[in-house]
Amino acid sequence: MIDSLPKTAQPFMDWGWSQIEPYTKELEGRPLSAGNLAGWLADWTQLASLVTETFARLYVATTVDTTDKAAEARYRAFLDEIYPRAIAAEQKLKEKLLASGLQPPAGFELPLQRMQIEAALFREENLPLLTEERKLSNEFDKITGAQTVEWEGQEVTLPQLRPVFQNPDREVRERAWRLSMARQLEDRDAINALWQKFMGVRGQLTANADLDNYRSYRWREMLRLDYGPDDCMTFHEAIEAVAVPAALRIYERRRARLGVAALRPWDLSVDPLGRPPLRPFTTVDELESKTAAMFRRVDPHLGDNFQIMRDEGLLDLENRKGKAPGGYCQTFELARKPFIFMNAVGLHDDVQTLLHEGGHAFHVFEIRAAALYPAVGVGPGVRRGGVDGDGTALRAVPAHQRGRLLLRSGRRTRPHRAPGGCHPVLAVHGGGRCLPALGVHQPRRRR
Ligand SMILES: [Zn+2]
C-alpha cells in the first residue's frame, strides 16, 4: 500500500486527511514481528516524511513572504486539518511499537527512548492547543515582518538599518537606533497580547500533561535528556562569574577607544578603532558565490552540496519587506534536502549566519546516505531537537556514523542568540528560529 504514496511532496501537499488516513490505519493495523519491523518503520518513515515535508514547505512559504494570504491560508488549513490528526496517528504508532516489546534495529536506542518521552507527553486535548501555538507563531512573523521605517527618504526594514549601526558618526547611529526601537515599540501592545495568548496556551498544554510548570513540559517536548534546569542554572552562574566580567572588560575597552562617557546601545556595532565597517558582499549573488568558494576550499564535497542548494532554489538569503525575521535551516524530509532562510543585509554577521545554517544543511546532506527511521513527528521545527528538523534526523543516525557528521560542521562556534537555541557544535536547534534583531527566541519553538 505504501508504494502508492507519491514519491515527492508536491502532489501530496493538497491531500486531505481522508486521503492520508488509510495509510496510517494500515500501519496501525499491520501485525508487527521481528521479521517485518524494519519494513514497518521504513513505511512509517515514508508516510511521516511526506507529512513533514508538506508542513515544512507550507511553513517556509509563510516566512519568505508573511503578506502572502494564499500561503497563510494553506498553512492554516494544514494546521487545522492535517497537523493534529497526524500527531494523533503518530501517537498510535508509537504506542504500537512501544507495546510490541520488539527489539528495534541497531542504533535505534536513542530514538526509542525519545519516543517513550513523546508518547508519555501526548494528550489528545493538547492537539488543538499545538495548532493554536503554531498559528500564534505565524502571527508573530507577520507583525515583525511588516516592520519598516523611513530612513533618508527611503522605506527600509529594521534589518536594513543594521549597517547604519556601524556608521562612525555617533549621532547617525543614535538616530537609527531610536528609530528602530520606536518602530518595535509601536507593536508592543500587539506582541504583548500575543505573548499573553502564548502563555495561556502553554499553561493549558502543561496542565493537560499533568505537569506543574511549562518548563517541565518544554523540557520533555525538546527531549532534553542530557541536562536539566539545574544544570542550566549552574551554567548561568558560571556565565555570571566568568563571562560577565570578561564582557564588562571588553565593553570598557570599547568605551575608552570610542572616547565616550558611557557606552550606549548604538555604540555596540561600530568599529572601536575607527576602521571602515566590513562589507563582505553587496548582492546576495555575491554572498552565495563567495560562500560557495569558502565551502569548496574547506571540502569540495561541501562545495558540491552548497551548489546543489543554489541550483535547486534551496536558499532564500536576502532581507526584504514582509519577510519573517531571523534565520533557519529547514529540512524537506522526503527529498532529504535542506532549505536555508535568512535576512542578509551585507554584514559580516550575515556571513557567519550563512556558515552556521550551512552547517545544519550539511548535516541534512550527510544523513541522506544513512539508513534512517526518522519516524519523525509532524511539522517543521519539530520540538524534538531541531526546528530545522535535522536535529530530529540526526538522532536516528547509527552512532558509528555520527562522527563524520560533527566533523563536517567544523565552523567557528559563535554565541547563538536564542535561549534553548542551537548547540553550537552539534548545530541542533532547540526548536525555534533565532531572532538576532530582537534578541528574543521565537516561541515555537522557538524561539
Ligand atoms: Zn543553529
Kindly give the confidence (pLDDT) of every residue in the chain, 447 residues in length, as a single tens digit, with 9 standing for 90 and above.
899 999 999 999 999 999 999 999 999 999 999 999 999 999 999 999 999 999 999 999 999 999 999 999 999 999 999 999 999 999 999 999 999 999 888 888 888 999 999 999 999 999 999 999 999 999 999 999 999 999 999 999 999 999 999 999 999 999 999 999 999 999 999 999 999 999 999 999 999 999 999 999 999 999 999 999 999 999 999 999 999 999 999 999 999 999 999 999 999 999 999 999 999 999 999 999 999 999 999 999 999 999 999 999 999 999 999 999 999 999 999 999 999 999 999 999 999 999 999 999 999 999 876 655 554 444 444 333 333 343 333 333 333 444 333 333 333 444 444 434 333 333 334 344 443 333 334 334 444
Name the phi and psi angles at 20, rounded to 5. -85, -40
Query: Which residues, including other chains, have CB under 8 Å from residue 188's CB and lie 6 or more apart?
Result: none
Question: How far apart are the C-alpha atoms of 226 and 212, rounded to whole Å?
Answer: 21
List beta partners, residue 154. 151
- Residue matched to cell numbers 501517537: 91
DSSP single-letter state for residue 15? -
Q: Which three cell numbers stand for residue 390?
A: 535535522
- Please give the distance, rounded to the nearest whole angstrom, from the Cα atom of residue 34 to the centre of ligand 1: 37
- Please give the distance, rounded to the nearest whole angstrom, from the Cα atom of residue 264 to the centre of ligand 1: 29
Q: What is the pTM of this model?
A: 0.84
- Please give the distance, rounded to the nearest whole angstrom, from the Cα atom of residue 263 to the centre of ligand 1: 30
SS3 148: strand
Burial 256-281 (b: 16+ CB within 10 A, else e): eebeeeeeeebbebbebeeeebeebb
- Please give the distance, rounded to the nearest whole angstrom, from the Cα atom of residue 427 to the centre of ligand 1: 5
- Please give the distance, rounded to the nearest whole angstrom, from the Cα atom of residue 423 to the centre of ligand 1: 7
The torsion angle over the Cα atoms of residues 187, 323, 327 and 266, rounded to 10 degrees, is -50
List beta partners, residue 441. 434
Can you list the positions of beta strands (E) in 297-433? Answer: 315-318, 328-332, 337-344
- Please give the distance, rounded to the nearest whole angstrom, from the Cα atom of residue 62 to the centre of ligand 1: 20
DSSP letter string over 246-269? HHHHHHHHHHHHHT-SS--GGGSS
Name the phi and psi angles at 309, rounded to 5. -65, -40
Q: Which three cell numbers stand for residue 296?
A: 569548496
List beta partners, residue 339. 330
- Please give the distance, rounded to the nearest whole angstrom, from the Cα atom of residue 429 to the centre of ligand 1: 5
Determine contact, residues 138/63, Cβ cutoff 8 Å: no
Question: How far apart are the C-alpha atoms of 420 and 429, rounded to whole Å?
Answer: 8
> Burial, 446: exposed, middle or buried (Cβ in 10 Å; 0-12, 13-18, 19+)?
buried
- Please give the distance, rounded to the nearest whole angstrom, from the Cα atom of residue 248 to the centre of ligand 1: 26
- Please give the distance, rounded to the nearest whole angstrom, from the Cα atom of residue 261 to the centre of ligand 1: 37
- Please give the distance, rounded to the nearest whole angstrom, from the Cα atom of residue 417 to the centre of ligand 1: 10
